[in-house]
Structure 1
Amino acid sequence: MKDFIYLTVEIVNQLHDILEDFFGGLGYQLTDKDLHFWIFGVLGILFFIFVHLLFKWLSTLSLTAISFLYTFTVLLVIVFAIEIQQKITGRGNMEFADAIMGLWGFLIFFAIYLGIKLVVYLFLKIFKRNKPRSSQSRKSRSAR
């Protein structure tokens, strides 16, 4: 996990330097705050457009899919925050495998949830198909 974080930090630092040099070459002397403003503004709006289109499409298929993606994303942030917190405080071990196992836990429990939801759906579908018709609907048919 530590190596993964160091690799991520190194990639971000390299991108930061490349962008600073690029904008400097164009004659813009951007401060670190300016760079963050522009980069996160552009990346954020592009990511928003992508997510909005994805969720709009998914909403035509299933609200469960949207809820799953949102929950998984939040859990991803929480899992890595906990691992980083363990490194900072020295309580527990910061390991990438811990983060993966936490996410696997959610995926397994979600699969169980979907299984239960499917069983209930099939039960209700079978129950409705085999449900005897009410006497009122029989009377209206015989009157025809």
Structure 2
Amino acid sequence: MKEMVVLLAEIVNTFHDIFLGLSHSLGWNLTDKELHFWIIGMLGIMCLIFVDVIFHALAKWSVTAISFLFTLSMVLVFVLAVEIQQKITGRGAMEFNDAAVSILGFLAFCTVYFLVKMIVKWIR
């Protein structure tokens, strides 16, 4: 897990340096805060448009699908936060397998929930 976080940090830092260098070479001379404003703003709106299209399509099919995707994203953020917290405090090992098993636990409980929901719907 530590290696994954370090790799992701290195990728983000590389892109940061590329965009900052590009900004200066184009004569824009953006500060770090301005660079963050533009890059995160553009990435965020692209993600919003993509997610909006997907969620509208899913809403016609199942609101539960939207609930699942939203909850999965919250669980992923929480799991990553727990692993980082373990590394910072030294109370547990920061491992990718811990994160993977956490997500599998969520998926297992979701499977049971969906099966029960289908059975109830089928009985009605």
TM-score by length of structure 2 reads 0.98
Cα shift at 1:118: 1.0
Aligned match of 2:36: 36
**What letter corresponds to residue 111 of structure 1 in structure 2?**
T
Deviation at 1:23, TM superposition (A): 1.2
Structure 1 counterpart of 2:106: 106
In 2, the alpha carbon distance for the partners of 1:119 and 1:63 equals 18
SS at match of 2:98: helix
- The sequence identity of aligned pairs, in percent, is 52
Matches within 5 A, 1:1-144: 1-124=1-124
Q: Which has the higher contact order (CA 8 A, sep 6+)?
A: 2
Give the TM-score, by structure 1 length. Answer: 0.85
In the comparison of the two structures, how many residue pairs are matched? 124
Structure 1 residue runs of 5 or longer lacking an equivalent are 125-144
State how far apart, in whole Å, the 1-side matches of 2:58 and 2:65 are: 7
Which structure 2 residue ranges, 5 or more long, are not aligned? Answer: none
Asked which structure has the greater CA Rg, the reply is 1
Give the superposition deviation at 1:21.
Answer: 1.0
